[in-house]
Chain A
Amino acid sequence: MSKPVLIVGGGPAGLAAAHALTQAGERVVLLEKTSGLGGAPIISGYAKLVPSGEWARDAIGGMVRRVREEQLATVHLGTTVKAFAGTPGNFTAELSNGAAVEAGAAILCTGFTHFDSLNKPEWGFGTFPDVVTTAQVEQMISSGKGVYCPSNGRKPQRVAILLCVGSRDRQIGRPWCSKICCTVSANIAMEIREQLPECHVYIYYMDIRTFGLYETKYYWRSQEEFKIKYIKARIAEVTSDGEKLIVKGEDTLVKRPISIPFDLVVHAIGMDPNVDNKLIAETFGVALEPHGYLERGNSYGNTAETSRAGVFVAGAATGPESIDDSIAQGYAAAMRALALARPVRVSA
């Protein structure tokens, strides 16, 4: 019997890889550094997911349950890898809980870290309680409390969503597009309007990147059905007059600087490389690409490769990624690990 596959990270990609391999009869050891499986959608309390609209706790929760009930999967929570050595088919990993794991292959599904809005102090996060992040709004919705202003619990009448917070910003060394925030923001905007039909929701953007088919379901639908107002302007500062938040921007259509009052300002935060990526790269002997994500070994012809043979990668560890694509990549990486575990080729 071949050695198990070591899967690092219990988010959508890791859960998908674990499911795929166990379905094929392989054993997996799934490590998760936090105290629970599910990754960002569960740990950060996402609400309804793009594109299906299913609740995260149902969609990703189902994936967690499936792996939890699987005999071939061994799960270690609150555990990281201390040391990793060996060759394809013959790796050993020393875990932070003292255990040692023999593995035929490893799949890194180490994901991303939400951008910390404190790094853009001019946009008021951390200064004004009613400046929140998209992750916080997701939590408001998924907790059942609904959208409110944290300062006094009132329902907002005017909400501004600022796009590209921690994305496409050379000032703070984050030139990449986080890919999903435009779509997620349109989704959140529609959820706010659904909950609070009297509330006006504005999205401040420099480009809208509701890529692919999301253009219809999120960009146009949010405007046509939900009357979300898109304003092409990047906000300079968020201040307060003591009562309301004051958002300072330029109306680029009429070419004048404007100050607009809001009850709630939402930062559409981007995806940073996992804060542990340098440690992960060092431990597993894999390369990082210039932005700090794990480097892909191959773009075409093969998939899920890192710079080290037998160590595969899936999901947002390699760059901003959507949940459904992360899951697909988890299955793809599982296929690479499976091929390594069963190298017998039947010749014709």
Chain B
Amino acid sequence: MTLEHTTRVQEHIGDPVSAGAPVERAKLEQIFQDIQSDLRFDHMLNGCLNCGICTATCPSAQYYDYSPREIVQLLWTENLEGIYDAMQEKIWACAQCYTCAARCPFGNSPGGLVMLMREAAIKHGMESAKNVLRPFSRVMLKLISTGNQLSPDMISKDAFPDWGPNISKVSAPLETLRKAIPVPTLHTTKTAWEVNLKTSVELYTIWEETGVINSLKAIDPNLFDVIRDIMDDKRDELSEWQEEQAQD
């Protein structure tokens, strides 16, 4: 907006004539369509009287500018700008505890609706989704390629600077440390348990078929490239092994 003489009101709401909508209407509609067409949507939203029991019971609402009632109202009233706005930040404050769903007298699930909005935010590659998921790239790498979320080799000085001086203790040889644990640890360090090559490839195929890999591509292209290379190698390895087996 380049008006020279702006009023205070114009500063806040923009010039209704020259300033276009920040996001095209078609995109807002597409995002809402994606949320609403999910088969879970009609089970999670049955109506809303604004009673506020969800927000009253919500642990996140105690600490953040987040209200499950507001989320439900935005969807119920089909407030497309408001939905888009909430997807920028608010929906990421939900802890997915579903206390709201346990309390709602209508049987709505505000937490479930938040999940649908998060999925739409990822699908549309929204910045908010990228920012939220960025710290989890190591976890996603491990999860998508092996099915394990955490493994011993992820505990490193660089990854946990906030652990203070104690982190040096885990810098010792991991295999030795694992063996020192009295309960069985399977002696693995790259995964939490032994992951079969075939299992790993099958899991990756599931991620592909269910659209998770496409979501990853939208959110983090670099991570997508890395994971694709790893999985291409694993697939080659598996088919070589299978050929060997067939020859024997």
Residues in A with CB closer than 8 Å to B61 are: 250, 256-257
From A232, A252, A257, give the contact of B62 (CB < 8 A): A257
Assess whether A235 is interfacial by the CB under 8 Å rule: yes
Among A77-85, A166-174, A302-310, the one that faces the other chain is A166-174
- Tell whether, in the assembled complex, residue A255 and residue B107 are in contact, meaning their CB atoms are under 8 Å apart: no
Asked if A206 CB lies within 8 Å of chain B CBs, one says yes
Q: In the complex, which residues 115-173 of chain A have their Cβ closer than 8 Å to any Cβ of chain B?
A: 122, 164, 168-171
Q: Are B55 and A257 in contact (CB under 8 A)?
A: yes
The answer to whether B69 and A252 touch across the interface, beta carbons within 8 angstroms, is yes
Chain B residue contacts of A251, Cβ below 8 A: 52
A237 close to chain B: CB less than 8 A: yes
A168, A207, A250: the one contacting B56 at CB < 8 Å is A250
Chain B residues with Cβ under 8 A from A168's Cβ?
A: 105
Bound together, the chains give a CA A223 to CA B106 distance in angstroms of 28
A236 at the interface (CB under 8 A from B): yes
Complex formed: what's the CA distance from A170 to B51 in Å?
14
Cα–Cα distance between A233 and B61 once the two chains are bound (Å): 15
User: In the complex, A282→B228 CA distance in Å?
Assistant: 67
Is A250 touching B105 in the complex (CB atoms < 8 A)?
A: no
Give the one of A232, A234, A235, A255 with max B CB within 10 A. Answer: A234
Q: Is A249 an interface residue (CB 8 A)?
A: yes
Closest chain A CB from B214 CB (angstroms): 36
A248 within 8 A of B: yes
Report B49-91 CB contacts with A as 1/0, cut-off 8 Å. 1111111111001100001011000000000000000000000
Q: Scan residues 23-55 of chain B and give those whose CB is less than 8 A from a CB of chain A.
A: 46, 49-55
- In the bound complex, how far is the Cα of B51 from the Cα of A249, in angstroms? 9
Least CB distance from B245 to A in Å reads 55
Considering the chains assembled together, what is the distance between the CA atoms of A237 and B49 in angstroms? 18
Question: In the complex, which residue of chain B has the Cβ closest to the Cβ of A170?
Answer: B107
Residue B203 is within 8 A (CB to CB) of chain A in the complex: no
Residues of A contacting B150 in the complex (Cβ-Cβ under 8 angstroms): none
- Tell me the nearest residue of chain B to A172, going by C-beta: B105
Q: What is the CA–CA distance of A151 and B16 in the complex, to the nearest angstrom?
A: 61
- Assuming the A-B contacts A237-B57, A257-B58, are A252 and B52 also in contact, with contact meaning beta carbons closer than 8 angstroms in the complex? yes
Residues of B within 8 A of A235 (CB): 53, 56
Cβ-defined contact, A252 with B102, below 8 A: no
A206 touches B49 (CB 8 A): yes
Question: Which residue of chain B has its CB nearest to the CB of A169?
Answer: B105
Which of A232, A237, A256 contacts B50, CB < 8 Å?
A232
Question: By CB atoms of chain A within 10 A, which of B51, B106, B107 has the most?
Answer: B51
- Residue in chain B with minimal CB distance to A251: B52
Shortest Cβ distance from B108 into A: residue = A170
- Tell me how many residues of A have a C-beta within 8 Å of chain B: 23
- Chain B nearest CB, measured from A48 CB (Å): 29
Complex-state Cα separation, A234 to B52, whole angstroms: 6
Residue-wise interface mask of B (176-198) relative to A, using a CB-CB cutoff of 8 A (1 in contact, 0 not): 00000000000000000000000
| Contacting residues, chain A, for B62 (C-beta < 8 A) | 257
| Chain A window 239-261, contacts with chain B (Cβ cutoff 8 Å), 1 for yes, 0 for no | 00000000011111001111000
A residues near B49, Cβ cutoff 8 Å: 206-207
Report B-chain residues with C-beta under 8 Å of the C-beta of A237. 56-57
Least Cβ–Cβ distance between B52 and chain A, in angstroms: 3
B92 to chain A, nearest CB (A): 18
Contacts of B55 in A (CB 8 A): 250, 252, 255, 257
Answer whether A233 and B107 are a contact pair too, CB < 8 Å, given A206-B51, A252-B51, A252-B69.
no
Q: How far is the CB of B104 from chain A (nearest CB, A)?
A: 7
Return the chain A residue nearest B58 by Cβ.
A257
Bound-complex Cα distance A256 to B60 (A)? 11
Bound form: Cα–Cα A169–B51 in Å = 12
| Interface assignment of B103: CB less than 8 Å from any CB of chain A | yes
Q: Check if A255 sits within 8 Å of B105, measured CB to CB.
A: no
Query: B53 near A236 (CB under 8 angstroms)?
Result: yes
List of B residues within 8 angstroms of A233 by Cβ: 51-53, 56
For residue B103, which residue of chain A has the nearest CB? A236
Chain B hits for A171, CB < 8 A? 102-105, 107
Shortest distance from the beta carbon of B73 to any chain A beta carbon, whole Å: 10
Q: Report A-chain residues with C-beta under 8 Å of the C-beta of B52.
A: 232-234, 249-252
How distant is the Cα of A252 from the Cα of B58 in the complex, in angstroms? 14
A251 to B52, CA, bound (A): 8
Q: Which of A191-218 contact B (CB under 8 A)?
A: 206-207
Shortest Cβ gap from B23 to chain A (Å): 24
**Shortest beta-carbon distance, A87 to chain B, in Å?**
44
CB distance from B118 to the nearest CB of A (A): 22
Residues of chain B within 8 A (CB-CB) of A258 are 56
Chain B residues whose C-beta falls within 8 Å of the C-beta of A232 in the assembled complex:
50-52
**Lowest 6 A-B CB distances belong to which pairs?**
A250-B52, A234-B51, A236-B57, A236-B56, A206-B51, A234-B53
A-B contact pairs, 22 of them (CB 8 A): A169-B105, A170-B106, A171-B104, A171-B105, A206-B49, A232-B50, A232-B51, A233-B51, A233-B52, A233-B56, A234-B51, A234-B52, A234-B53, A234-B105, A235-B56, A236-B56, A248-B57, A250-B61, A250-B67, A251-B52, A252-B52, A257-B61
6 other contacts beyond A233-B56, A255-B70, with CB at 8 A cut-off? A171-B107, A249-B52, A250-B69, A252-B52, A257-B56, A258-B56
